[in-house]
Structure 1
Amino acid sequence: MAARAPLSYPAADITRHVEDLVLNCPDLSGFLEDLAVFCAEQQAFVSGDVTCGVTVLRASGLAHTGGSEEATRSLEDVQTQYREGPGLSAALDEAMVLVTDLRSEERWPSFIDAARGGKVLSVLALPVGLEGAASASLSFYSLRPHGFGRDAIASAHALAADASKGLRLVIRIASLRETEQNLRTVMAARPPIDIAVGVIIGQEHCSEDVALEWLFRASRTRNVSIRDLAAEIVATAGNAHPTKVHSDD
């Protein structure tokens, strides 16, 4: 469990605290957990005792979740696993979802079973604005029916707006790290890749840039690593029917 935030923050300091979370925990998973803890404590001032969950759907299709408590994180995981729930709906539809009493709710059966098992009776989920194809939601869970009134909804909207600023930055950092790792992987595999590029140039009478583009595109299309595809091209270069990458375009 992440270290808990101080119990009270003036409204003007919430943005600054979110920025501090980014600096202190720039990796995505740790940031989501710290953010959920902080938002739960802030929301408690107007909603009473609540928990908070955060779900991020990356442009790559990967889902990342965090929760102020382990049980809350599990509720977020259930939604991404079964592709249903108020938080997921808020993220994908970019609209607030308010469930005043789960005892009469019939949507999202997998989520409802998990939430009722945790004695959750009301949920407030809001979209968190991100860049590009990524989406996210900030969800609050209460053990009381009708746990979120007008003031609680306004507070949650303010928290979601501030959370989006930090989350955008953390996702950018994560993406840069992933790109760096991918480049390192490619560089480690350069000898077979260089040979494969030479084979493609010889087959297709194209430039090196075009050959590289075909190689990367075929890797994505076939869902195989660059190294494995390059090795296949090199291994079959002398065969009667060598591997060709442009046929998948």
Structure 2
Amino acid sequence: MAARLPRTYPAADITGHVEDLVLNCPDLAGFLDDLTAFCADQQAYFSGNVSCGITVLRTSGVPDVAGSDEATHILEATQSTNREGPGLAAALDESMVLVPDLRAEERWPSFIEAAAGQRVLSVLAQPVPLDGVAKAGISFYSLRPHGFGREAIVSAHALAADASKGLRLVLRIAQLREAEHNLRTAMADRSPIDIAVGVIIGQERCTQDIALEWLFRASRSRNMSIRDLAAEIVASAGAAHPTRIHFGE
């Protein structure tokens, strides 16, 4: 865990800095890396030498994790992999988690072991409010027991609130980019699918809607992607025994 010096900051600057992070690094991974480094620096004013990690839970894919240093990234990844830990609990329960001394803690055995390996002795985790079903937790780690007093808790709560503003925006940008990628992929796949539908119409003398329905059903029953199945149909169209799609599939 890298040493951090306490530094004074005006509260009004936090929101502005988070906005700058969004503008300078709108992709999710880069934003989370910069955000954790920034929050660790800010929290150092109240807690001394601390590090910061964050875990973001979305409906699609594995959780997104980041840390202000490599050791903290390991702790966040451990929580994500083993589905237990204070940051994950804060995110899922949407409530603060304070562990004054990890040596006396019995919850989250895998996390406790990883934290001991990084010499972390106390943790403060706060939920980060997000839109929809997405959830996130931001955690601060100290190398000393009882590393987070009342002022540190207030500061962490404020940082989580300000982080949520930027994170919500970055998540929306990420969702738009993912939607654009999916649309481009679908458009790229459309030609072979359209040709395959035409082949089915010619084979079965059915309507386009029925042909498309058969194609979807067959892809599910054969556990194949629609594109792969369409390519197989198109490739075999001129063969002696072409691939045929039947309503019963």
Asked if 1:227 corresponds to 2:227, the answer is yes
Report the equivalent of 1:158: 158
1:12-91 correspondence to structure 2 within 5 Å = 12-91=12-91
The answer to whether structure 1 residue 99 and structure 2 residue 84 are counterparts is no
* Equivalence for 2:176: 176
Task: Give the Cα–Cα distance (whole angstroms) in 2 for the partners of residues 232 and 189 of structure 1.
Answer: 13
Q: Is the contact between residue 102 and residue 112 of structure 2 (CA under 8 Å) also seen in structure 1?
A: yes
Q: Which residue type is aligned with residue 101 of structure 2?
A: D
TM-score when normalising by structure 2: 0.84
Alpha-carbon distance between aligned partners in 1 of 2:47 and 2:247, rounded to the nearest angstrom: 58
Mapped partners of 1:116, 1:164: distance in 2: 29
Aligned equivalents of 2:145, 2:104: Cα separation in 1? 10
CA distance in structure 1 between the aligned counterparts of 2:15 and 2:247, rounded to whole angstroms: 49
The sequence identity of aligned pairs, in percent, is 69
Distance 2:130 2:220 in 1: 25
TM-align CA RMSD:
3.1
CA displacement at 1:190 relative to structure 2:
2.0
- Structure 2 partner of 1:140: 140
Q: Distance in 2 between matches of 1:120 and 1:149?
A: 16
Could you tell me how far 1:197 is from its partner in structure 2?
3.9
Gapped regions of structure 2 (runs ≥ 5): none
Q: Could you say if the C-alpha distance between residues 12 and 139 of structure 1 is closer, same or farther in structure 2, counting changes exceeding 3 Å?
A: same
Question: Which residue of the partner structure matches residue 124 of structure 1?
Answer: 124
SS in 2 for 1:151: helix
Deviation string, structure 1 residues 167-219 (Cα, Å, up to 9, x no partner): 011111111111112222222222112123445777674649x948x84x987
Give the counterpart letter for 1:155 in structure 2.
Answer: S
Deviation at 1:70, TM superposition (A): 0.7
Pairwise CA distance, 1:231: 2.6
Asked whether the equivalents of residues 100 and 146 of structure 1 are also in contact (C-alpha less than 8 Å), the reply is: yes
Query: Greater Rg, structure 1 or structure 2?
Result: 2
Q: Distance in 1 between matches of 2:132 and 2:220?
A: 20
Specify whether residues 221 and 27 from structure 1 end up closer, same or farther in structure 2 by C-alpha distance, changes over 3 A only. farther
Q: SS of the residue aligned with 1:189?
A: helix
Query: Do the aligned partners of residues 131 and 199 (structure 1) sit closer, same or farther apart at CA in structure 2, a change above 3 Å counting?
Result: farther
Change (3 A) 1:72 1:189: same
Question: What amino acid does structure 1 have at the position aligned with 2:178?
Answer: E
Question: 1:236–1:242: 8 Å Cα contact kept in structure 2?
Answer: no
Q: How far apart, CA to CA, are the structure 2 residues paired with 1:162 and 1:7?
A: 18
Separation in 1 of the partners of 2:245 and 2:55? 41
CA deviation digits over 1:61-120, x for unaligned, max 9?
Answer: 421111111110110001111111111111112111111110011111111101011110
1:137 aligned partner, one-letter code: G
TM-score (norm 1): 0.84
Give the conservation status (yes or no) of the 8 Å contact 2:218–2:245.
no
* One-letter identity of the residue aligned with 1:42: Q
Is the CA contact (8 Å cut-off) linking 1:236 and 1:243 kept in structure 2?
no
Compute the displacement of 1:130 (Å). Answer: 1.2
CA–CA distance in structure 1, aligned partners of residues 117 and 93 of structure 2: 26
